[in-house]
Structure 1
Amino acid sequence: MLKQNGTVFRPPVLTLVGIPGLESVQFWIGIPFCTMYILALFGNSLLLVVIKAERSLHEPMYIFLAMLGATDIVLSTSILPKMLGIFWFHLEKIYFDACLLQMWLIHTFQCIESGILLAMALDRYVAICDPLRHATIFTHQLLNKIGIGVILRAGLLVAPCLILIKCRLKFYQTTVVSHSYCEHMAIVKLAAEDVHINKIYGLFVAFSILGLDIICITLSYIRIFITVFNLPQKEARLKAFNTCIAHIVVFLEFYALGFFSFFTHRFKFHIPSYIHILLSNLYLLVPPLLNPIIYGVKTRQIRDGMSKIFFPKGDS
């Protein structure tokens, strides 16, 4: 490893600290994190099985939900195995290129999840505000295009973050990453060079994807609520609103945790680093854990599909 004037030139290996300040209890923190990960894998996998098995669930709302479940599986798997290796087996070392790959996966699938939540909001908007045209608008061809578009948008917009780090940042003040996974700003802050372009582009990606999506989702639900409150029958209002509750809860948990983590990491708030990192970890673990529970509880068709799997009727 070449060193010059106290800096390191393109380090091949980085060291992930885990949770700075809580190293002595990281072993115990790993236990609930591992439990959350296992439950998230089980819940989202079960959701995918139910949606695939039940032909009545091959509708846009449930296809988007299946996309969300698959995204949650990849997102949580991108961080948990390495994180548990740090907490339990002191495997702090990670190759620089592997760290960049983890960073790309995490931020790409965060953006994909945001895009899917936007697609689900638009689906509910058309289903409630223009129900007669819903089947003709949300065709399987459109669903395929939305899926491809969401993936390409996220992957292509996040990829320059890797290129800027790999090509522009050559000298690093330290190889120790004060985080439990390879987060964009945690890596950028290691550099001994000007990092303004990296920071600006990170902000651009966050606001052009997450910011734009949250604005569009909010506007969609404002229009949905206006339509629902104008329905003449109380039963119709309750039924329409009930179809949106699960998505609203998922929407709030994803963006509230996400924006809090984003702003505290980029702007100097008086928050201890271990609290920020714990919240960052929970931001990537809580939605994959809660999403299948929320949709399973609130959606009768999914509950019925799960009942058929766990309590199949006898032939007699």
Structure 2
Amino acid sequence: MTVNGIDVASYQNSSYGTAGLGFVIVKATEGTGYINPKHAAQVATGRTHGLVVGHYHFAKAGPVADQVAYFLRHAAPQAGDILALDWEDTAVSAADKDAWLKQAQAAAPGHRVLLYCNRDFWLNRDRTSQCGDGLWIADPGAAAGHPRVEHAWTVHQYSETGGIDHDVANFADKAALRTWAAKGVAAPAYEPFPGASWFTVGRRSPIVAAMHDRLVAVGCDHYAGSANKDLIGSGDVASYEAWQRKYNTQHDKGWTGAALKWPPGKETWDALKVPNV
């Protein structure tokens, strides 16, 4: 389950539509010389309509500490607001990205801090997988809630329609998102390992469908299709065994034989991060 939201900047109206939304993330600043002139009004619209509010900073080349201070001063976040770094300028290094996130978390310890970037930056420019309290991934080529990244994600920007960027947050509902934003829970939550004996061919469960989606997302897709994806079948067996081989190689586990076979084990299950359903 996910929560619908949007992100806005000076290109959008201050009185944007909020029907069906649970959150809005508003551009506040860019570098150390630009403030979104509509920021205050756009934030006010979100608060008036009961949305979870976030603020983002577009990083430019230059001193990181100065940009963090500039952003926090002009964003003026309230308790429960989300903060985010927009990393899409090629002049900003992965090291600068990491430093910004770390310094923002230290300077605003009461707030969640996200990293926003597209798949190219995440897959080809990032070096550490550091994303603060969560990854806000831009992948407009993927269906809402199914970004094509292996890393666990918190927000997925999936489309732009009518001049508005649309997002979903990986939470059961707005209340769960609000609680997380206020640092009331450590989330998003993932399905706990149900035990090896649970994975019997023919079992039907929404957990199986969620597992299917994660296996596809991490590049271990040995499914013939998505029909009856909530039912454990041969595609799940082949796909999960591919995931165990991939995990084994990536982490130099040295597993052989039965350790690479069905059913799933707790370590690879926890690493797969199947969303709580």
TM-score, normalization by structure 1: 0.23
- Which of the two has greater helix per residue? 1
TM-score (norm 2): 0.25
RCO comparison, higher one (Cα < 8 Å, 6+): 1
